[in-house]
């Protein structure tokens, strides 16, 4: 695991904050305004898919979900945790399939939640269903160096 600190931008004041990785679990706050620096999944749309997923430097775990889907809502807190724990190593992203049908159709999303794992712009794994965090991490570790 890289010990290089992350640079997190404060959602309140825009200040860039250098946060050592070991301190991510402590719930870091902005050095200027003291607002929480939570790490959440990146929202991806049909328009931003190329830039956020295919052109990403790090591997991307893309959650294909919909707001009406119960299992998707159950998986959301797990993905929030993974976004913080894997920050800087794996980008966690979310794609609302109802609002972004082009990308959903492009990857044949027929059941949600579906997690797609991309590495260097290529789809390398697909996880269908709301699996427990440990199983998702095992699938990630089989493909990506964690």
Mind spelling out the 3-state secondary structure of 61-75? EEEEECCCCHHHHHH
Do 11 and 33 meet the contact criterion of CB atoms below 8 Å apart?
A: no
Q: How far is CA 91 from CA 40, 58, 63, 117, in A?
A: 10, 7, 11, 10
Q: Give which of 129, 101, 103 is closest to 115, Cα–Cα.
A: 129
Q: What residues act catalytically?
A: 69, 72
Nearest alpha carbon to residue 76 among 84, 65, 68? 65
Q: What does the buried/exposed string (b/e) look like for 84-102 if buried means 16 or more CB atoms within 10 Å of the residue's CB?
A: bbbbbebbbbbbbbeebee
């Amino acid at each position: 695991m890289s010990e290089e600190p992350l640079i997190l931008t404060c959602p309140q004041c825009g200040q860039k904050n250098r946060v050592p990785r070991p301190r991510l679990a402590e719930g870091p706050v902005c050095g200027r305004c003291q607002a929480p620096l939570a790490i959440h999944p990146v929202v991806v749309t049909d328009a931003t898919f190329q830039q956020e997923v295919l052109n990403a430097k790090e591997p991307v775990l893309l959650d294909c979900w919909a707001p009406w889907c119960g299992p998707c809502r159950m998986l959301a807190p797990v993905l929030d945790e993974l976004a913080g724990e894997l920050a800087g190593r794996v980008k966690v992203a979310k794609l609302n399939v109802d609002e972004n049908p082009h990308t959903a159709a492009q990857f044949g999303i027929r059941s949600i939640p579906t997690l797609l794992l991309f590495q260097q712009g290529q789809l390398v794994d697909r996880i269908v269903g709301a699996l427990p965090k440990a199983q998702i991490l095992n699938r990630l570790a089989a493909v990506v160096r964690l």
